[in-house]
Structure 1
Amino acid sequence: MESLLKHKSLNEIAYEIIRDKILKGEFEPGSRIREDLLAEAISMSRTPVREAINRLIADGLIISRVRKGLYLVQPTSPEIDDYIDIRCALEKLAIEKCIKKINEEQKTKLRANLQQFRAAIDRGDFEACNALDADFHMTIAQIANNGKLIALLRDLSAFFQLARRTEKREHPKEKNEQTFREHSLIFEAIMAGDTEAACNAIMANIETMRRNLHADSVKTSSTGRPNSLIA
């Protein structure tokens, strides 16, 4: 903590700690958030925690309900469609720019991601699979080299990491195998410089995610999940 304080503000540290806990699945989607208990849990004062919560609201990971308090987001079907429609447009743009700009070093980086993904599936490390899934898409955006595009996709990535954490609890190996196959098709099209095939492949990948998230959303609305207090 001391070394972090030399370079980052308390607000930034609180934000990163809480965001990391959310994306690692330490809190259930839909759980209530109490600022005082969260501050106690991460051993910080309420002021930086409050600022961190405000940033997480802006990120779309926490929602504020009038006269009810703060809750970790639990995506609904309409929200899933809204976010995915935006992501489709951004990912298509990223692919188009990526194919025009990619160099050999960047091709090697994408290939390494796929190799690591394959290894993570084989050893049953589905936490690593989730991280590598997000990293594959962000690497394409970084190769596209458009700062605004990268920032928008990074914000969306946090929402989808949270949403997919619950979706991939059932049949994680099969779902990650499907993701690996789809990423492989995207990679092959990028290597071939085939923009149309790459766009089609990444749209298919996102549509698979849409179907799975909708199925999970329906299941959640019918069975519910515990609204455990974040502390």
Structure 2
Amino acid sequence: MKHPSLRDQAYAIIKNKLLHQEIAPGERIREDILAEEISMSRTPVREAVNQLTAEGFISYVPRKGLFAIELSRKELEDLLDVRLSLELLSVDRCINIIDDHEQQLGKVKKTLEEWELAIKNKRYDECNSYDSEFHLGLAYITQNIKLITFLKDIESFMQIARVTEKKHFTEEMYESSLKEHKEICAAIERKDKETAFNALRENIRNMKKNIRI
């Protein structure tokens, strides 16, 4: 089994810090400080930062330096609009082929069970990961490689949106979000496209409503 390179390790660590806002949006990024924090040399850190800059997670401001991406409300709403279009396609495809992929749908339902358990045990920090697993799980059922790739590409930005959205979440709001996802899954299982689409649109509407920037 091939071990990840130092650059790949640095990339994963720094990206995780950005997604979970351990590096705050708009915060200046210094490669020397990052290298010291994660106990690596400057070279793999610089390569990782360059990749994250190319992917849009870090912005370069001439004569000022590097900064963690700071998404505006408009940018987050645009991101959610794109995601909705992709998710509608994903759900439509899932329903069309679900009879041949019951095992994969079972994995999605298992994610919902683990999500519910996390809420009951007040492990709210795990909810974003289960949210992501749910949507990517549906995408994998479609076996549409391009769709999966596009959804994975925006999923990291979605994690930033979820962190922003859930800063003020109550237990009731976590439960409501889980309920929306259960409705999507149940509608797919029943092959009820209209209900699935409506539940998905409601989920996106609520995300937009809960984003406070």
The answer to whether the Cα contact below 8 Å between 2:165 and 2:210 also exists between their aligned partners in 1 is: yes
Give secondary structure in 1 for the equivalent of 2:167: coil
- Matched-pair contact (CA < 8 Å) for 1:61–1:158: no
Task: Give the whole-Å Cα distance in 2 for the aligned partners of 1:49 and 1:148.
Answer: 30
Which fold has the larger relative contact order, with Cα–Cα distance below 8 Å and residues 6 or more apart in sequence?
1
Q: Quote the RMSD (CA, aligned, Å).
A: 1.7
> Corresponding residue for 1:8?
4
2:133 to 132, 135, 154: 135
Counterpart of 1:7 in 2: which secondary structure?
A: coil
| Partner residue, 1:199 | 197
| Secondary structure at the counterpart of residue 27 of structure 1 | coil
The amino acid that maps onto 2:118 is: A
Gaps in structure 2 of 5+ consecutive residues: none
Tell me the CA shift for residue 94 of structure 1: 0.9
Deviations 1:154-184 (A, max 9, x none): 1211112122213212134232112111101
Displacement over 6 Å in runs of 4+ = none
**Structure 1 gaps, min length 5:** 218-231
Letter of the aligned partner of 1:116 in structure 2?
A: E
Cα-to-partner distance string for 1:56-110 (whole Å, 9 max, x where unaligned) = 2233322222222111122102211221121111111111111223322112112
Instruction: Render the CA deviation track for 1:179-228: whole Å, top value 9, x for unaligned.
Output: 11110110111011112221221121112111112xx11xxxxxxxxxxx
Q: TM-score, normalised by structure 2?
A: 0.92
Question: Scaled by the length of structure 1, what TM-score is found?
Answer: 0.85
The CA deviation at 1:22 is 2.4
Q: What residue is the counterpart of 2:81 in the other structure?
A: 85
Counting only pairs closer than 5 Å after superposition, residues 1-231 of structure 1 correspond to structure 2 as 6-102=2-98, 103-213=101-211, 216-217=212-213
Q: Distance in 2 between matches of 1:153 and 1:173?
A: 28
Q: Which amino acid aligns with 1:69?
A: G
Output the CA distance in 1 between the equivalents of 2:63 and 2:31.
Answer: 15
Distance 1:154 1:26, change over 3 A: same
Q: Which amino acid aligns with 1:75?
A: L
The 2-side partners of 1:134 and 1:127 are apart by 13
